[in-house]
Amino acid sequence: MQNKISCILNKYEKIILEYLLEYFYSSKKKDLKLAFYMFKSDLNMIPDLTSYLTSLASKKIEYMKNESEVYYFDIIEKYSIVNNYLNINFSDEVYGLLKNENTIFQVYSLIFRNKYSLKFLDKLLDEETIVLNDQELREFLNIGDGYSRIYDLENKIIKPTIEEIRSYLNIGIYFSKENQDNNSVRYIFSVDNSNKKSIDTFKNSYSNIVNILKNKVD
């Protein structure tokens, strides 16, 4: 495995980051200045908001160049709360990614939201059809023995992942299943190539992100 990107955030960290990214795309500035009262009001669904902001500031993007080279980049370089303003300073690496006009916002959303979506989509677009039984799928997504019930695997992992990809990228993804004799399930996933423009746009955008990070370490 090489040239892969991942960033594992929890639910509230993802919400905060997407909120900040919306501000970035309206200002295009590396350093953001937001009214702190508005930040708290808009994100009042998040308990202990400042703590989650602090935890987000500690998270990193992982770039795996190859199996022996893995690099980590800060998302947020620093933040401060001064005179009721929230100051966010994106790292140079993330700012370089975000200002890249050849990359669509939806790709970042996939990187930062469902940790399974980008990995799943990358394999699916590469192979066009994936055939895995339930245990092989758990191993591929690195969820170990979690979601041992087929019902949970399908409703908490498979369906949300597919729906997220569909909603963000307008790409048709289908899956069917076959019951096997050993109480396992065989899944067949396929991608609808009729919307080739969306597929090519995603591939090019993701490739741009990889190349920017690759150039940072070469």
| Cα 210 from Cα 118, distance rounded (Å) | 13
Residue 11 placed within a domain:
yes
Q: Identify whether the C-beta of residue 212 lies closer than 8 Å to the C-beta of residue 96.
A: yes
What is the span of the domain harbouring residue 27? 4-99
Q: For the chain, how many structural domains are there in total?
A: 2
Residue 213 is assigned to a structural domain of this protein? no
Q: DSSP readout, 43-86? A: TTTSTTHHHHHHHHHT-EEEEEEETTEEEEEESEEEEEEETTEE
**How do residues 86-138 score in pLDDT, each as one tens digit?**
999 999 988 888 887 777 666 666 566 667 887 888 788 788 899 999 999 99
Whether residue 23 is found in the same domain as residue 59: yes
Q: Confirm whether 155 is domain-assigned.
A: yes
Please tell me whether residues 95 and 119 are part of one structural domain.
no
79 and 164 together in one domain: no
CB count within 10 Å of CB 189 equals: 22
Tell me the pLDDT tens digit for each residue of 165-190. 887 777 788 889 998 877 889 999 99
- Residue 1 reports pLDDT greater than 50: no
Q: Are 178 and 122 part of one and the same domain?
A: yes
- The answer to whether position 180 is within a domain reads yes
pTM (2 d.p.): 0.72
Residue 105 forms part of a structural domain: no
| pLDDT over threshold 90, residue 35 | yes
